[in-house]
């Protein structure tokens, strides 16, 4: 994929819309590290209870064990001696302090691989994610396929307003759409409840 830096940590960010294969890519990279006998720890926000608690799962059901955390600084509570690679899934829901913690881990010599939605269902960037992309060494932007027209899709179309505060990864609630087919106004201008904006 790229030259592996020596004697330093670094940050890889995998972003995109829903159904763009972010988690699959995260799992792929972390598994390769495990095959190379590196010690890997995986974290994800506790509110993401899709499929299996305590693991990260791609839409195609591949899984990797993950520690549930309530915020970025919880990583320090569980960080084990000898860990070389940190994986974080659904990082957009970890909230304030994500960049600071990820930078610190990389500065300590760890490789940090972060998967995150870059935009919410209104097409607005999630807090922390743009800064994370700017300050990382490697950014991979995944595109999904627009279900309306087949174009590359970088937006997550919300299909129901719902009254649930958080709708994470619910396949029936979202579909990937391209710029031309995206309709943020369909569900009105209600505020997205996650994040700090
Ligand atoms: Zn389209």
Give the pLDDT confidence of 134-166 residue by residue, as tens digits. Answer: 999 999 999 999 999 999 999 999 987 654 544
Higher pLDDT, 29 or 190: 29
- Known binding residue 99? Answer is no
Residue 186's pLDDT is 60
In the reported structure, the alpha carbon of residue 151 is separated from the centroid of ligand 1 by a whole-number distance in angstroms of 5
Annotated ligand binding at 89? The verdict is: yes
CA of 23 to the centre of ligand 1 (A): 23
Q: Which residues are CB-neighbours of 4 under 8 A, at least 6 positions away?
A: none
Indicate left, alpha or beta for 7 from its phi (over 0: left) and psi (-120 to 50: alpha): left
Q: What six digits make up the tokens of 132?
A: 């994370």
Collect all residues with Cβ–Cβ distance below 8 Å to 28 and sequence separation of at least 6. Answer: none
- 10-143 CATH fold: Rossmann fold (3.40.50)
Percent of the chain with pLDDT over 70: 79
The answer to whether the beta carbons of residues 192 and 175 sit under 8 Å apart is no
Of the residues 12, 25, 90, 175, which is catalytic?
Answer: 90
172: annotated active-site residue: no
The pLDDT value recorded for residue 53 is 57
Q: Is 22 annotated as a binding residue?
A: yes
Asked whether the beta carbons of 9 and 128 are under 8 A apart, the reply is no
The 3-state DSSP class for residue 67 equals strand
Ligand 1 centroid to Cα of residue 21, in Å, is 18
Query: Residue 68 pLDDT more than 70?
Result: yes
Quick check: 18 and 143 in contact, CB under 8 A?
Answer: no
């Amino acid at each position: 994929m790229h030259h592996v830096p020596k004697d330093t940590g670094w940050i890889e960010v995998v972003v995109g819309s829903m159904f763009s294969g972010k988690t699959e890519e995260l799992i792929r990279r972390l598994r390769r590290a495990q095959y190379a006998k590196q010690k890997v720890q995986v974290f994800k926000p506790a509110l993401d209870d899709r499929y299996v608690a305590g693991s990260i799962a791609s839409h195609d059901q591949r899984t990797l064990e993950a520690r549930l955390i309530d915020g970025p600084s919880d990583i320090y509570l569980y960080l084990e001696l000898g860990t070389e690679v940190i994986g974080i899934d659904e990082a957009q829901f970890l909230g304030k302090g994500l960049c600071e913690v990820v930078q610190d881990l990389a500065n300590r010599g760890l490789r940090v691989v972060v998967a995150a939605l870059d935009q919410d269902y209104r097409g607005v960037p999630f807090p922390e994610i743009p800064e994370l992309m700017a300050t990382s060494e490697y950014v991979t932007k995944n595109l999904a396929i627009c279900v309306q027209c087949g174009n590359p899709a970088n937006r997550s179309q919300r299909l129901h307003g719902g009254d649930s505060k958080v709708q994470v990864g619910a396949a029936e609630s979202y579909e990937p759409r391209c710029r031309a087919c995206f309709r943020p106004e369909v569900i009105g201008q209600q505020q997205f409840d996650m994040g700090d904006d």
